[in-house]
Chains A and B, each alone.
Chain A
């Protein structure tokens, strides 16, 4: 029972990452009708925003300590971050410590800019092109983006810890009135889940309650009619692309402490998030979120030793297996509409 509850927690956590990426993918697909294979790369760039910020904050000046030596026997160069020099060691260290949450603010303008640049510079020329071309060009872009990151940051994962207050874990079980020491869960993962919930809620509220969102939703349903009303829908769609990029970026920033970012983390997530989007039903935002959580939870269950010993290898294939079953029983995914991407 506890084990199952824990796996549900795990699944919610993994699911929130899937859901956030799938949400962005669906926004882009639903509004612009573009299949964006570079979306995983946006997630990855988000994570590297956190890395960059923590590097920037740790920019240091060098002094030489003649007392100590480095590995070659030369006098040791001691690096002191500027922020520590400016704000005093403690405040400075605290600022560096908080670089991931600060990365949220840092990443928003960057991701928005990347999103705008992508849409205006490339994607907009592909609205009328076949989906295969869109896939190909965004896939090429994804490769280019990840190679650029690799060029500057290397291929190894880069540790990007959460602030100290969120390090470690706490007794979640005791908090919700269960026996202590049964359900222990890391702070940061709870933070991540709550963060994802806020972002998802925010996006839905934005689409539901603002005029802008209403126009976009109308545009998703029938682009031409909205265009006839004299509303410049294209401009709004550009903003939606930027929004999707920001969502992916934020998902990445916050994910950095969970798994140390590396340049191919986007590709690792890309295929899975496509499966998530399709299982949810192409073009359906609630579907994408629902499928993200469902697949996340099922994946966690399939990883349990009892399940694996019963069905060896099931943890490797569960997502794909579920995807096949769902697509065969529900032709357009969980919440898909008819006629989207079927020809």
Chain B
């Protein structure tokens, strides 16, 4: 079953064509990777999907909901969460609060004037956040300020924030960029574990190690166009892909 269907998306910046008639489908419960050389339009593509950029033409359908024209928070409310390339967290807040906020957003909607409730007495949200922190191994740091975390921890925190919303679709923009090998492996494990919860994932990634250990399907983007799509092992051998990657040093 398709959960995400992108049809005929075009996007230009001035004279530069960033996306050229992109068609793209993601099946529910799968891990779908998008790869491509630098400047291929991966991030633009992602931004068009989550409402950060408006595509010039084309539609983005999430199930039977059209995401085009929706505001970021509305897109999130229908079940799409996103992990950014540089972690976007609430730096001045504690780890626990960082997780509670998305959990509350999931439960109470995009705005709720709960000015008289007590955050620390909301057992349901608190427990959920605690579990989440335990899941990503940050439980002990729950009361420290998020900006003081290491880069790897910040990524894990951001991932935990997204997961606490039990999204139907999770978009990850280079979730292991700049990580050490050990951290990368941890993250892969983590992502595999959440696979068990049946969350569909779209991963943009440079690191082929990550791609091939996670993805069930890979789409290759070059110069704004999809040049190949298929199972990881098929993609590995595709000459067009190797050409796009300058002789395929990565592969």
Q: Do chains A and B touch in the complex (CB under 8 A)?
A: no
